[in-house]
Amino acid sequence: MSSKKIAVFPGSFDPITLGHLDIIKRALPLFDEIIVAIGTNAAKKYMWSLAERKEKLEAAFSDHAAISIADYKGLTADFCKKNNAQFILRGLRNTTDFTYEQTIAQANEKVNGVDSVFLICSPEYSHISSSIVRDIARNDGNYSSLIP
């Protein structure tokens, strides 16, 4: 196991929001490296292509050497193991997020030995979610204040 502290921040990033940016940048002092990992799910219909999502992430973090962008299929914990990451980084907006993430975190730790680290989002971003951005985009609304 690597002595480097590596975290994976998984998501679909369809699209990346200011909330994601907030969590990742605030987590930088905690880890030597953060891999922003775009999970792909064949059953899910994405609004933006994988290439577009990857491009937006690379642009958002181009000035941060400790952040890399990757994509993967399958279990996040398996991706962590392949990349010697000991931690899964997650952002929480509210108790609903916590309830959802808690069971997954406990399973990942018990079954795969990968610990989860949660950061509470900054209050000014707690109302932002990718699904809200997609709803606004679908209806030709202006969502520019919610994304990087």
Give the domain CATH number at 64. 3.40.50.620
CB-CB contact of 102 with 24 (8 Å): no
pLDDT of 1 > 70? The answer is no
Residue 67 located in a structural domain: yes
Active site residue 56: no
In a domain, 84, yes or no: yes
How far apart, in whole angstroms, are the C-alpha atoms of residue 121 and residue 111? Answer: 27
**Residue 123 belongs to domain spanning:** 6-146
Instruction: Judge whether 130 counts as a catalytic residue.
Output: yes
Q: Would 22 be classed as within a structural domain?
A: yes
Instruction: Please tell me which residue in 25, 81, 93, 134 is annotated as part of the active site.
Output: 93
Buried b / exposed e over 86-105, threshold 16 CB at 10 Å, is: bbbbbbbbeeebeeebeeeb
Catalytic residue among 3, 44, 45, 144: 44
Total of domains in the chain: 1
**Is 34 a domain residue?**
yes
72 in Cβ contact with 79 (< 8 Å)? yes
Tell me whether residue 21 is in a domain. Answer: yes
Distance CA 15, CA 120 (A): 20
Q: Establish if 123 belongs to a structural domain.
A: yes
pLDDT tens sequence across 64-123? 999 999 999 999 999 999 999 999 999 999 999 999 999 999 999 998 899 999 999 999
Concerning whether 44 is annotated as a catalytic residue, the answer is: yes
Active site residue 20: yes
- At residue 2, the pLDDT reads 52
Please check whether residue 1 lies inside any domain of the structure.
no
